[in-house]
Structure 1
Amino acid sequence: MDLSNPTTDNLHFMINQLAEQLQVVNRGLMDPEDYDMDQYDNIKEVYDMVQMKGQLSVSEIQAVVGELGKFRKQV
């Protein structure tokens, strides 16, 4: 999958993969519909970092989830 193209499908894929890898119990926090395409590049950076790092500590997981929270659509 070519994630260099900012598409809705790619965004949804990355968010779902991150939720799986970070073992997010409350999937409502990681609903792909809650993320804006304007934040695609930022989300991709987080996704790439998690992919490179592989195993994350609990504090790193919390930091990543917190960072992703910044990219959610403002209601």
Structure 2
Amino acid sequence: MDLSTPSKENVAYMIEQLKEKLRMVNVDAMNADSFTENNYEDLYDLYTMVMKRTNFSPNEMQAIVAELGSLRA
């Protein structure tokens, strides 16, 4: 999938992949419709960082979730 172009489909894909990778408990809080293409670059950067990692400390998880929250529309 080509994620270099901002689109609603790419945003939805990245959000779904993040939810799966992070094994988030409250997946309803991360609805792809809550994110817009306005913060696409920041979302993409967060996505690539998360996908490269295998483990996250509790503090890192908290920071990632906080960043996702700040990117919501």
TM-score normalised by length of structure 2 = 0.92
2:2 maps to 1:7: no
SS at match of 2:3: coil
CA-based RMSD: 0.9
Identity %: 38
Residues 1:43 and 2:33 are matched in the alignment: no
Question: Which moves more between the two structures, 51-60 or 41-50?
Answer: 51-60
1:39 aligned partner, one-letter code: N
Distance in 1 between the 2:15 and 2:2 partners?
15
Structure 2: stretches of 5+ with no match in the other structure? none
Question: 1:34-73 counterparts in 2 under 5 A?
Answer: 34-73=34-73
Q: Which runs of 4+ in 1 moved over 4 A?
A: none
